[in-house]
Amino acid sequence: MIELTSSQRSALRARAHSLHPVASISQNGLSDTVLAEIDRGLKAHELIKVRVYGIERDERGALLAEICTRLDAAPVQRIGNILVVYRANPEAPAKTAKPGKKATPRSTPKSPARPAASRRRLKK
């Protein structure tokens, strides 16, 4: 299981806020097919949500730990019936800036405000 610092975990929680659950775990528990689906989701997205149905609160924490141990992932968050899991994708290219180019902020000149009368067309 991967350990995250509190600042990494905070940033991942912010990224996970807008995500929808990728996999669901019901009363049948963590089967091999569900674990394979979670693994595919982690390979594709690195950060996923998993919804849990019909499992008691204490068992959800153990379930999150089992998922992270078996898939070599990091637990990010557990809120209610939602588990958030992260695993870095080593195959994904790292996003880097092009050498020699600096990011410069765009500045567009603002047009002066015109009075309401000049915006209307005058009828003849």
pLDDT tens, position by position, 35-62: 999 999 999 999 999 999 998 988 999 9
pLDDT at 97: 44
pLDDT at 85: 96
**Sign of the dihedral defined by the CA atoms of residues 111, 113, 115, 120, in that order:** positive
The domains located in the chain, with CATH, are 6-86 (3.30.110.60)
Whether residue 63 contacts residue 70, with contact meaning beta carbons closer than 8 Å, is answered with no
What is the rounded CA–CA span in Å between residue 8 and residue 3? 10
Name, in order, each residue with C-beta under 8 angstroms of 16's C-beta and a sequence gap of 6 or more: 47, 49, 76, 77, 84
Angstrom distance (rounded) from CA 121 to CA 124: 9
pLDDT tens digits for range 70-109: 999 999 999 999 999 999 987 765 554 445 555 556 666 6
SS3 60: helix
Cα 1 to Cα 4: distance, rounded to the nearest angstrom:
10
- Averaged pLDDT, 16-31: 92
B/e letters for 76-91, b = 16+ CB within 10 Å, e = fewer, are bbbeebebbbbbeeee
